[in-house]
Structure 1
Amino acid sequence: MRPARAGATLAGMSDLSARAVTSPAGAPVPYALASKQLLRNSLLDGMRQLLRTRDWSAVTMADVAAASGVSRQTVYNEFASRQGLAAAYALRLTDRFVDQVTEAILAHERDARVALAEGFSGFFVTAADDPLIQSLLTGQAKPDLLRLITTDAEPLITTASARIVDLLQTSWVRADEVAAVRIARAIVRMALSYVSMPPETDRDVADDLAEIFGPVVDAAAGGGRRESTG
């Protein structure tokens, strides 16, 4: 049976992340929002440090509170449950994947294959070093963590896809909305699929994925340029 608050907690984090991303550049961040984000990041950082020395199954809300210098009730107020805590952590990791793709796209104008290879490669390195993912892949099976990237992954997919759609529409790609949504959701789903089953070590999987998605992004960019000049 799924924890009742896990989806709600992740949806709340998705909304918070979306507001932060869409804030106008240079606009002051409301104190309440800034302090909430600071608290969440502090708690998630505390959890990450704990996972460097112990398995996820051994991490309690009280442990996270102690590592972050707050009360256990504060942790419960923010995440409601261990599943909510893991969900928020997963969302932050997914946001970092989008950050990597964004930086790569902006750094490699009109070279989608190179940009995507760099974005996927960075994500695979980040994921391999992440202690929560390491915990997922080692020891006893952890269905609670696995659900976050499989049956309960829609909030992650929706939030990350929305950011990539915006990137594909506002960057040099200039894709139309239909193409941007199609490409973004496929890229995010593909990235998440490699979390529970890491890339093979005998091939450059990031490069393989870039060879598949690169021409699709190029085609979307070409269509956008033709439309704008037509």
Structure 2
Amino acid sequence: MGAGVPETTRQRILDAAVEMTTEAGWASVTMSRIAERCGVSRQTVYNDIGAKPTLAKSLILRELEQFLAGVSSAFDAEDDFLRAIRQATYAVLDRAQDNKLLHAVVSATHGADTELLPYLTSHSEGLLGYATAIIHEHIRKFDHGLSDDQADAAIEMTVRVVLSHVMQPTKSPDETADDIAWLMSRVLRA
């Protein structure tokens, strides 16, 4: 939170859920334990968030918004399309390296605590749609030569590749960002 901006009950609940997930796994998160940690009633947690599946979705969407803020900053700061793609990719991958919630979700795939994972993988339509829409708005300022349909396809595939590298990195954020920018340079030449 920024200085002087009061934290809402909803934010405190989400923060508590992240802390509990990173400390002991998603299975340890209950509405009662969140209420206790936040100093509110269990009913307040339900009123502000809803049931646990809604909490899971809210956590993932809040993380996505934070990742997309970095993407937006990269596109806003650049006047070259490929540099903007490279910087946006780097921003996501760099943030992912140290994201405790993301690490808790991904590391859970090796155990039984995988309830959050579908929000990043098999049930990620909302995530992909939201990310694609935000990026599509940002790329309008560039003369990239792609039709709207081509731009949507390129964005979706790029988002999927970046998400894959978030989930299972094989290189440093710098190297992967360079690779994705190179790949997009080939798409733009075609």
2:135 is the alignment partner of 1:164: yes
Question: Are the equivalent residues in 2 in contact too, given 1:97–1:119 (CA < 8 A)?
Answer: no
Question: Are the equivalent residues in 2 in contact too, given 1:147–1:153 (CA < 8 A)?
Answer: yes
Structure 2's unaligned 5+ residue stretches are: 1-5
Question: Are the equivalent residues in 2 in contact too, given 1:47–1:67 (CA < 8 A)?
Answer: no
CA RMSD of aligned residues (A): 2.9
- Which amino acid is 2:70 matched to? Q
Which residues in structure 2 correspond to 1:1-230 (within 5 Å)? Answer: 38-110=8-80, 112-138=81-107, 140-169=111-140, 171-173=141-143, 176-201=147-172, 204-216=175-187
Rate the CA distance shift 1:126–1:147 in 2: closer, same or farther, 3 A: same
Deviation at 1:153, TM superposition (A): 0.6
Question: Hey, what's the Cα distance between the residues in 1 that align with 2:10 and 2:94?
Answer: 24
Please give the TM-score of this superposition, normalised by the length of structure 2.
0.78
Rate the CA distance shift 1:150–1:103 in 2: closer, same or farther, 3 A: same
Question: Are the equivalent residues in 2 in contact too, given 1:56–1:132 (CA < 8 A)?
Answer: no
Identity of matched residues, % = 28
| SS in structure 1 of the partner of residue 121 of structure 2 | coil
| SS in structure 1 of the partner of residue 79 of structure 2 | coil
Rate the CA distance shift 1:84–1:219 in 2: closer, same or farther, 3 A: farther
Deviation at 1:39, TM superposition (A): 4.2
Rate the CA distance shift 1:195–1:202 in 2: closer, same or farther, 3 A: closer
| SS in structure 2 of the partner of residue 143 of structure 1 | coil
Question: Hey, what's the Cα distance between the residues in 1 that align with 2:71 and 2:88?
Answer: 4
Rate the CA distance shift 1:135–1:49 in 2: closer, same or farther, 3 A: same
Question: Are the equivalent residues in 2 in contact too, given 1:51–1:59 (CA < 8 A)?
Answer: yes
| SS in structure 1 of the partner of residue 171 of structure 2 | coil
Question: Hey, what's the Cα distance between the residues in 1 that align with 2:172 and 2:125?
Answer: 28
Deviation at 1:72, TM superposition (A): 1.8
- Which amino acid is 1:49 matched to? E
Partner residue in 2 for 1:3: none
Question: Hey, what's the Cα distance between the residues in 1 that align with 2:21 and 2:136?
Answer: 33
